[in-house]
Amino acid sequence: MAGVAVPIVELTGGVKFPMIGFGTWQSAPDVVGNAVRTAIDAGYRHIDCAWNYFNEKEVGQAIKDKIAEGKIKREDVFITTKLWCTYHRPEDVKRGFQESLNDLGLDYIDLFLIHGPPAFKPGPKWFPTDDSDFDDTDYVDTFKAMESLVDEGLCRAIGLSNFNTQQLERVLQNCRIKPAVNQVELHPYLVQQKLVDFCKSKNVVITAYSPLGSPGRDFAQPGEARVLEDPVVLDIAKNHEKTPAQVLLRYHLDRGIVVIPKSVTPSRIKENLQVLDFSLTADDIKTLGSLDRKNRYVDWSFCKTHKYFPFHDSA
């Protein structure tokens, strides 16, 4: 792994899941390829993708380039992608999966997640503009349809994203194949301890997206509080002689949570992987957790009136 011994967590069925991944959300198609190639060269072996990032062809090409160079083999790199909400109807699940598989140019996916609980009507309009675009498909039925992808050998593990505790519990009670992962927004301004504890009690691995507070997202608000600039984070970083980003990533890793930081800047891509030579103290972790403001930066407000909207409470 390019000399980088990234810790591994084992998913259902013995699937090995690298605890530091490379995020590709809001990475433009014309820059994401170079970012992925840089990440693989740096030692990342876990790439997080999604149908609605609209850059999977470029991500796939970067992976193919590195395989062709002999830098990696397919089995060396863990690929996650996600089923978008317009493909929730059981009869559409495989088609949604296949679109990502084809764009990535792969024979199989390592981890396939439901991107979020709400379903939207099938069709070319991928983003809802009012309630008429919503669909009533139950995410439990969607997940059951995903189980057949594992049976067919098309993906090695399946899971969820943006599910709250009640929704996760419904899936657990009705599934044949247990969801391996719940990928959710987590950082010291959004600790979600109840959800973290629940997932751990059910042996569902948590992946933290936006672990740095998503400062570069295209809908960031002027003047909003940035966890990367919080004086407490800066102080802990100074004490460890690390950057604020490295401290925030370590905060998750020291709590057994997988992280998928995103960057297109080569120096930061490398820096975000250089978090394996230190640990935070118990006091550091407690102090960072006390910063919780319930600040959800990725709030899915575009479907807050949907029957399966997941964020009505902090669970």
pLDDT tens-digit profile of 94-113?
999 999 999 999 999 999 99
Quote the mean pLDDT of the chain.
95
Residue 110: φ, ψ to 5°: -75, -40
pLDDT band, very low/low/confident/very high, at 1 (cuts 50, 70, 90): very low
pTM, 2 dp:
0.97
- What is the C-alpha to C-alpha distance for residues 42 and 98, in angstroms, rounded to an integer? 29
Active site positions, annotated? 53
pLDDT band, very low/low/confident/very high, at 2 (cuts 50, 70, 90): low
Question: What is the full DSSP assignment across the chain?
Answer: -TT----EEE-GGG-EEESB-EE-TT--HHHHHHHHHHHHHHT--EEE--GGGS-HHHHHHHHHHHHHTTS--GGGSEEEEEE-GGG-SHHHHHHHHHHHHHHHT-S-EEEEEES-S-EE-SSS--S-SSGGGEE---HHHHHHHHHHHHHTTSEEEEEEES--HHHHHHHHHH-SS---EEEEE-BTTB--HHHHHHHHHTTPEEEEESTT--TT-TTPPTT---GGG-HHHHHHHHHHT--HHHHHHHHHHTTT-EE--B---HHHHHHTT--SS----HHHHHHHHTT-----SS--GGGTTSTT-S-SS--
The yes-or-no verdict on residue 130 having pLDDT over 80 is yes
- What pLDDT is recorded for position 3? 62
Contact 139, 172 (CB under 8 A): no
